[in-house]
Each structure stands twice: as C-alpha cells, then as structure tokens.
Structure 1
Amino acid sequence: MACSSGNAKMSTSNANTPVLPPPQGNVDQTMKPVLFEIFGEMWNVQVRLGQGVSASVYRVSSGRASMAAVKEFQVDAQGGDYGYLKERSVLENIQGHKNIVTLYGVFTNHNPLGIATHCLLLELLDVSVSELLVRASNQGHSMWLIQHCARDVLEALCFLHREGYVHADLKPRNILWSPDDECFKLIDFGLSFKEGHQDVKYIQTDGYRAPEAEVQNSLAQAGLEGDSGCTSAVDLWSLGIILLEMFSGIKLKETVKSQEWKDNPAAIVDHIFSSNSVVYPAIPVYHLRDLIKSMLHSNPSSRSTAEAALISPFFSIPFAPHIEDLVLLPTPVLRLLNVIDDSHLYNDDEYEDIIEDMREECQKYGSVISLLIPKENPGKGQVFVEYANAGDSKEAQRQLTGRTFDGKFVVATFYPLSAYKRGYLYQTVQ
C-alpha cells in the first residue's frame, strides 16, 4: 500500500500498540477428532473452543471455506444421550430469533474407535462477555457496550420467556458476539426447561445463581423436593449480576456470597455505582443503576421482567462507542486510523491513487466489497474497508495493526456495518 508519490510504503515492523485483542479463549491444539463428516461433506476441525463435562465445542471449516461450530456430546457412563436430546429439543423449539444462536442441523459422528457421538452443528460466534470482562482490566466497559449487551440479552429473554422457557444458566460465558449480525447471542441451553415443568435439579452457575435457585439446589442436594420450580425470574437475576460486573469491571462471585449482599443487595449496588460515578455521565448512570436494582430483588415476584426492563429509560439514551469497543467486537468493516494526511485528500489524482493502493493492499486479506475514505468530517482521512465477512476483516486487522505507513503506526479497529451502510460515520470516544 503506497501513496501516489511512491515513497511511503506499508512497513511490516510491529509497534507495541494495545489495539489488537489476544486470541480467543484457551484453546487446545492437540484436540481430537480432526475431521467431522457432516451431511456427506468433510469438515476440518481447526481448534477446540471449549470443553465441559458433557460436551466439547470445536470450530470447523468445510472445503468451501464455510465456518461453523460443532458441539460434540460425550457418551455418558450409562450410554445415554439426555444432554444432547435436551439441548437439541430446546434449540429446535426456539429457532428464528436474532439474539439466539442458530442451529444448522444435527448429526452423528463415528470416530476411529467405532464410538458414535451426537453432535449439533451451530452458528460460529466470536468473543464472549466473559472474555470482554477479562480484557476490561478492572475498569468497566463503556455505556455503549453495556447498553448493547443488555438490550440484546433482554430481547432474547423476552422471546425465550414468551415461548415458556427459562434459560437457567445465564452467565458471561454464555453470551457471545456475532460479528456478521453485530449483536450478542445466547448459547448453551443444556439446563433450560419449560416454566412449570422444571426437569433439571441443579440450575445456574455459582455467582449468577438467584436466591430461590440456591434454595432449590440445596433441597435437591439433600434429596428433598421444593414446593415449586424456579421461574423466568432467575434469568433476570443473572443478567443483573452480569451488567453490574460489566459496569464495575470486577467479578462479583465473592461479593454475592457475602452476608452483606444477602442482607441488602441494593445497598451494595448503590455503593458500586457511587464509587464509579465520576467516570460516567450522571443521568445514564442513574438509569443503569435502577435497571440493575430492578433485576436483583431477592423476592422473584418483585423482580423486573425482561419485557418491562426493555422500556427502562436507560435504553432511550444514545451512546457512541469507545475506540476500545471497536477493537474488541469484530464486524465485516475495518477502519484504519492514522494513515492518510489531509494533504492527500485534495489532489484528485493522489486521492484516486490512494484508493487504488488501499484496495490492493486490503484485498490481500479477503474479498473487499467497498472502500471509503471521506474527504470531510466526520471520518475525514479515515479508511473504511467493507469485507465480504468478518473473518476476512479480522485477518486484515491482525495483519495491519502495528504496521507503519508514511512513518505513522496504523491503528486498525472494526466499525459497525449497519452504521457504515447508512453513511453514519460517528466520532468514537477515545
């Protein structure tokens, strides 16, 4: 990539810049299997994304370069397949919502040892809220990101609860970002159940477990039956904790175990917000605080519903993303900063040469759909590159971040495709 003068080249030297996020998750490079035969086509296993007691999740690709996730269920000691049947049944009944992971299909895998395992072929998602919390470095996330996540999860819960289901394991690890749909989605419905027909004794994860679920789990452990099953209110409790962690930037597992929390959770929420209030504008902070408190009533009947939470004043306030947000959340659009001088924008010949050079360089990493370099603000001198998919955009960000152009270090962030398509080039908060 070069300017029209031919003396400014993109350098491959790396800068010590913080703009490139680390690889996702702790992956196991020695995983098995190496291939899945899915609907008559061979898919390569690229990496294991996660492993639990009952299942492993892999990122896979086909010969057509399609990408997906496979959740392979382990054969239990009794040879049963309850976990697989449970999650398959729930997913098949709740398909079609933009904030719930898409199930492409189901298949049986026969490994070289002759063991058959049941598998789900799922939409491949990206970074989880759990990873975002780790990267927040105890500073908390921006209002834009918190609002985006809260709205997406509440939309999913509205749909889920209307269909009569309780997720029952809402936690940061089960909320993932979709780069192509630009939204957060819920995954992992292995503990989900129809409200009024709870067929799972132990629900929710420690740190995100509602008080009534704690009681029921304790009774189940003692071999006793509770009066009734848990309701959709347990999901709202979990979301309240998640949003409080996103705001504070700290894990609250020990806090929610404390006696002070059990006596008066609202007081602790107030304390957390008063400690962070200088960092955020006052009015949105109050609205977010009240929204979270509405989800954390100890009495489930007093807790907000997902539908009621969505009409909180917090969602009526528009926010701009921080530059860190656009580094953390991949999209098909890449934005290059610190590349073009104003002097290059007003000479038509130079400008066209820059466009051509930029397109040539960016096409090395994937199929470029469009490229824009605004001559005026907003976005003046920034390079916006729309790729065919977020995978290509991520590869370009990885390759271009830290390179030098005309003596300046390139900063590469992502940019919302929806805003780019509308021609909305907002100024991000630094």
Structure 2
Amino acid sequence: MASSSGSNAKMSSPNVSTPAMTVSPGAVEQKTSPVLFEIYGKIWNVQARLGQGVSASVYRVSSGRASSAVKEFQADAQGGDYGYIKESSVLEKIQGHKNIVTLYGMFTNHNPFGVDAHCLLLELLDVSVSELLVRASNQGHSMWLIQHCARDVLEALSFLHREGYVHADLKPRNILWSADDECFKLIDFGLSFKEGHQDVKYIQTDGYRAPEAELQNSLAQAGLESDSGCTTAVDMWSLGIILLEMFSGIKLKETVKSQEWKDNSSAIVDHIFSSNALVNPAIPVYHLRDLIKSMLHNDPKLRSTAEAALINPFFSIPFGLYHSAYKNIVYISWCLCERLLWVSAPHIEDLVLLPTSVLRLLNVIDDSHLYNEDEYEDIVEDMKEECQKYGTVVSLLIPKENPGKGQVFVEYANAGDSKEAQRLLTGRTFDGKFVVATFYPLSAYKRGYLYQTVQ
C-alpha cells in the first residue's frame, strides 16, 4: 500500500505467514462424514464439521462465495427419523424472528455408503457464547456484551414462549453470534416442545438444568412419571446461569450442583457480584444481579418471564453510545460520564470477537498526517486501495477529531469480506507500527457515533 506524501511508510506483511483456512485433522472424517452435499441440484463442498451430537452432525458448507450450515441427522435407535422430524417441524413454525436461526430448507443426502440421511440447510452463524466464555480467561465479559446477549436471547425467548414453545436446551453452545445481522441467535431445537405437551423426558444440559427438570429426569430414570411437564420457566433458569457465567467468567456446573447452592443460591449470586467489584461501579451492574436472581427462583412460578425481564432496569442504559437519547452527544466518552461509559461502551476484546461488516484499524495513522489536507486525502485513497484487496468497500472514514481520531473505519459489502480483511491485516505494519484490526457495530457507524472503547 502506498504511503501518504511526506512519509515513506508502507504497510508490510507480518513475519509469520497466514495460511488459508484448513480443516483440522478429524474435523471432516472421510469414512464417516460427507465431502459434499447436493442441495436442490447444486453442489456444496464440506469445509469443516462444526459439531457432532448423539443424533446429528453440523457442517460448514460452501458453494462459490455462498456459505451455509448443514445439520445431518442419524437414524435413531429404532432406525427412524424422529429427531429430524421434530426439529424441522419446530423450526418451520418459529421462522421469521431475527434472534432465531434461519431455516433455508430440508433435503435428503444420498451418501455413497447407501444410507440416506435427512438434513437441514441452515443459516451459518459465527462465534458461540461458549467460545466467548473460553476466551474470557476467567475475567468475565463487559457489561456491553452481557447486555447485548441478554436482550437478544430474551427477545427470542419472548417470541418462542408466546408461540407456546419451550426451548428446553438453552446453553452457551446454543447461542451464536450473527455477523450479518449483528445479534445473537438461538439454535438447536431438538429438545423443544409445546408447553403442556412435553414429549421429551430428559431435557436441558447438566449445569443449565432447572430444579424441576432435574426432578423430572430423576423420576424418569427411576421409571416414574412426574405430575406435570416442565414449562417455559426452565428456559429462564438456564439463561440466568448463562448470564452469571458471562459476568463471572467461570463455569458454574459444580457450583449449581452443590448443597450450598441448593440451600441459598441468592447468597452465592451476591458473593459472585461482590467478588467481581468494578473499578467504576454503576447501577446497571446491580440491576444485572437482580435480573439474574429473578430467573433463579427454585419455584418456577416465581421466576421472571422473558417479557417481564425485558423491561428490567438493567436495559435502561442503551447499547453503545448511539441511542437516540444521546443523539447529539458525540463527545460523551470524553465527558464526566465515566460510570455510564463503563457499562455502555464495548471493550476492545468485544470488537475483536464479534464480527460485523465494518472493520476498524487502530495504530495506523499519526495525528500529524490528519491536518495536512493533501496528506489526508492521500491516506484515504491509499487505505481504500489496500482494503479493496480483501472485498468490496462501501465506505471509508478516518475521523480528524475525537472520538475515533486517526482510526480507520472500513465498511465492507458483507461480513465475510470484513472477516477476511481482519484476518489478513492484523499484524501488518505501517510506518513501523503493528496494525490492530477490530470490528465495529454497523448500526453505530451508520449513525456516525464513534465511541471510545474500554481497553
């Protein structure tokens, strides 16, 4: 990439080469996994196996520039296709909500071993909350990320519960980020059922299982029937545990199985929050504690509903700094609202982990180049030329003043291009400085709201 006038700086590649995407050993086993799918007369190549369960495997597939996910079901113990029928029927009935994975279609895969397998063609999503928890390094996530995730999941559950369905397997692995829609979405409805018509005895995953589901499972193992089926309240319990793990940064499976938890879970929640004291504590942190407690009552009738949780004061502080209430306060991150900033702005780690169609480049441009108009225009053109190597650039912005001063914001036509650019630009050097590439919320960028992220 050519440098601006007055500078001999060039962007160079990092010393370590970056290989193309490869499938790790075992990700696609040739003897047991397909290498391609023929879907509606079109060939889709298998790039990787994303996950495998008792009844199904999930693959990332591509055809040209298009990518999707395929969930391939195995026959059940009786040689039937109950799992496929169940999940496909539920997904068909709950389509259309932005926080629920999109079902593109259903097909049968005729593999070379003579065994036909029923499949679902699904929207391909990105990082899961489970992966985010692993990367949190026992430190917990920012309030911005927790609030974003909590709202998205509650929106999905509110819709799902209004339709009369119980998800019945809410856990971090089943909440995934959508780079294109910039929101979290629910997946895996294999255990879902209509409230009042529970047709699955063993529901939920250990560590996220509500007390009444635990009791029901124990009775089923003993060959006994429970008086009544589980309700939508089991989903709220699971979400409460998930949010507590996101805040604490630790897995709570053993904690929720302990006698201390059974005796007084509220005290343990209080202890977790007091142990994770914030540098600049803000009221919404305590609202989060109370929101979580409302989801973790042992009595399911006392638990908050999804609709009630959505109006909890925890959500009174908006995402980022682009809410209408702050429409004209561009410099809010530079004023005295540090306590508000802590909860409403993302950490830089959040913007690295959650892909969007907007890329933000840091540590690239010195302030001295911003005030010479000729140099500034050269920089803009050079940046466009470089960034267009990785995809279609819709727009590019380099602010001359704070917030965002000297940062490069690049809007790509899609999140795929942005992710490729982030992968290839991270670690490059410009004017002797290592480039840091993060993503940035498209909604904030479109409104011109550039907040100062928390480091």
Distance in 1, Cα, partners of 2:376 & 2:432: 19
SS in 2 for 1:48: strand
Distance in 2, Cα, partners of 1:25 & 1:151: 34
Distance in 1, Cα, partners of 2:23 & 2:305: 33
Distance in 2, Cα, partners of 1:285 & 1:11: 43
**Residue 24 of structure 1 contacts residue 127 of structure 1 at CA under 8 Å; is this kept in 2?**
no
SS in 2 for 1:42: strand
The one-letter code sitting in structure 2 at the alignment partner of 1:204 is Q
* Larger relative contact order (CA 8 Å, sep ≥ 6): 1
- What displacement does 1:50 show? 0.6
Range with greater deviation from structure 2 (98-107 or 386-395)? 386-395
- What displacement does 1:371 show? 1.1
- What displacement does 1:55 show? 0.5
Q: Which residue of 2 aligns with 1:33?
A: 34
- What displacement does 1:24 show? 11
- What displacement does 1:396 show? 0.8
Distance in 2, Cα, partners of 1:391 & 1:200: 38
Q: Which residue of 2 aligns with 1:202?
A: 202
**Residue 140 of structure 1 contacts residue 246 of structure 1 at CA under 8 Å; is this kept in 2?**
yes
Q: 1:386-428, CA deviations, whole angstroms, 9 ceiling, x for partnerless residues? A: 1111111111111111111001110100000111111111111
**Residue 198 of structure 2 contacts residue 230 of structure 2 at CA under 8 Å; is this kept in 1?**
yes
Q: Which residue of 1 aligns with 2:295?
A: 295
* Structure 1 residues without counterparts, runs of 5 or longer: 16-21
Distance in 2, Cα, partners of 1:25 & 1:257: 35
TM-score scaled by length of structure 1: 0.96
- What displacement does 1:342 show? 1.4
> For 1:274-423, what aligned pairs fall within 5 Å after superposition?
274-279=274-279, 281-318=281-318, 319-423=344-448
Relative to structure 1, the CA distance from residue 26 to residue 135 in structure 2 (aligned partners, 3 Å threshold; closer, same or farther) is farther
Q: Which residue of 2 aligns with 1:18?
A: none
Q: State whether structure 2 residue 139 is matched by structure 1 residue 139.
A: yes
> Aligned residues, how many?
423
Q: Which residue of 2 aligns with 1:184?
A: 184
The one-letter code sitting in structure 2 at the alignment partner of 1:275 is S
Relative to structure 1, the CA distance from residue 278 to residue 379 in structure 2 (aligned partners, 3 Å threshold; closer, same or farther) is closer
Q: Which residue of 2 aligns with 1:19?
A: none
Q: Which residue of 1 aligns with 2:453?
A: 428
- What displacement does 1:75 show? 2.1
The one-letter code sitting in structure 2 at the alignment partner of 1:175 is I
**Residue 360 of structure 2 contacts residue 440 of structure 2 at CA under 8 Å; is this kept in 1?**
yes
Q: Which residue of 1 aligns with 2:43?
A: 42
Relative to structure 1, the CA distance from residue 24 to residue 95 in structure 2 (aligned partners, 3 Å threshold; closer, same or farther) is farther
The one-letter code sitting in structure 2 at the alignment partner of 1:310 is L
Relative to structure 1, the CA distance from residue 288 to residue 164 in structure 2 (aligned partners, 3 Å threshold; closer, same or farther) is same
> For 1:147-162, what aligned pairs fall within 5 Å after superposition?
147-162=147-162
Range with greater deviation from structure 2 (22-31 or 212-221)? 22-31
The one-letter code sitting in structure 2 at the alignment partner of 1:220 is A
The one-letter code sitting in structure 1 at the alignment partner of 2:374 is D
Distance in 1, Cα, partners of 2:370 & 2:180: 31
The one-letter code sitting in structure 1 at the alignment partner of 2:27 is D
Distance in 2, Cα, partners of 1:279 & 1:87: 45
TM-score scaled by length of structure 2: 0.90
Distance in 2, Cα, partners of 1:360 & 1:109: 43
**Residue 23 of structure 2 contacts residue 47 of structure 2 at CA under 8 Å; is this kept in 1?**
no
The one-letter code sitting in structure 1 at the alignment partner of 2:49 is R
**Residue 277 of structure 1 contacts residue 285 of structure 1 at CA under 8 Å; is this kept in 2?**
no
Distance in 2, Cα, partners of 1:429 & 1:72: 42
- What displacement does 1:29 show? 4.2
Distance in 2, Cα, partners of 1:30 & 1:303: 44
The one-letter code sitting in structure 2 at the alignment partner of 1:47 is A
The one-letter code sitting in structure 2 at the alignment partner of 1:352 is E
Relative to structure 1, the CA distance from residue 267 to residue 228 in structure 2 (aligned partners, 3 Å threshold; closer, same or farther) is same
Q: State whether structure 2 residue 163 is matched by structure 1 residue 163.
A: yes
SS in 1 for 2:256: helix
**Residue 23 of structure 2 contacts residue 48 of structure 2 at CA under 8 Å; is this kept in 1?**
no
Distance in 2, Cα, partners of 1:165 & 1:29: 34
Relative to structure 1, the CA distance from residue 258 to residue 328 in structure 2 (aligned partners, 3 Å threshold; closer, same or farther) is same
Q: 1:95-151, CA deviations, whole angstroms, 9 ceiling, x for partnerless residues? A: 000000000000000001121100000000000000000000000000000000000
- What displacement does 1:2 show? 2.8
Q: State whether structure 2 residue 36 is matched by structure 1 residue 11.
A: no
Q: Which residue of 2 aligns with 1:254?
A: 254
Relative to structure 1, the CA distance from residue 187 to residue 23 in structure 2 (aligned partners, 3 Å threshold; closer, same or farther) is farther
Distance in 2, Cα, partners of 1:224 & 1:308: 34
The one-letter code sitting in structure 2 at the alignment partner of 1:357 is D
Range with greater deviation from structure 2 (276-285 or 353-362)? 276-285
**Residue 97 of structure 2 contacts residue 156 of structure 2 at CA under 8 Å; is this kept in 1?**
yes
> For 1:213-224, what aligned pairs fall within 5 Å after superposition?
213-224=213-224
SS in 1 for 2:89: helix
- What displacement does 1:77 show? 3.6
**Residue 25 of structure 1 contacts residue 49 of structure 1 at CA under 8 Å; is this kept in 2?**
no
The one-letter code sitting in structure 2 at the alignment partner of 1:152 is D
Distance in 1, Cα, partners of 2:373 & 2:282: 46
Measured on the aligned residues, the alpha-carbon RMSD in Å equals 1.7
Q: Which residue of 2 aligns with 1:264?
A: 264
Q: State whether structure 2 residue 53 is matched by structure 1 residue 52.
A: yes
- Quick one: percent identity of the two aligned structures? 87
Q: Which residue of 2 aligns with 1:193?
A: 193
**Residue 245 of structure 1 contacts residue 252 of structure 1 at CA under 8 Å; is this kept in 2?**
yes
SS in 1 for 2:278: helix
- What displacement does 1:23 show? 10
SS in 2 for 1:360: helix
- What displacement does 1:357 show? 1.2
**Residue 240 of structure 2 contacts residue 292 of structure 2 at CA under 8 Å; is this kept in 1?**
yes
Distance in 1, Cα, partners of 2:437 & 2:53: 34
- What displacement does 1:4 show? 2.2
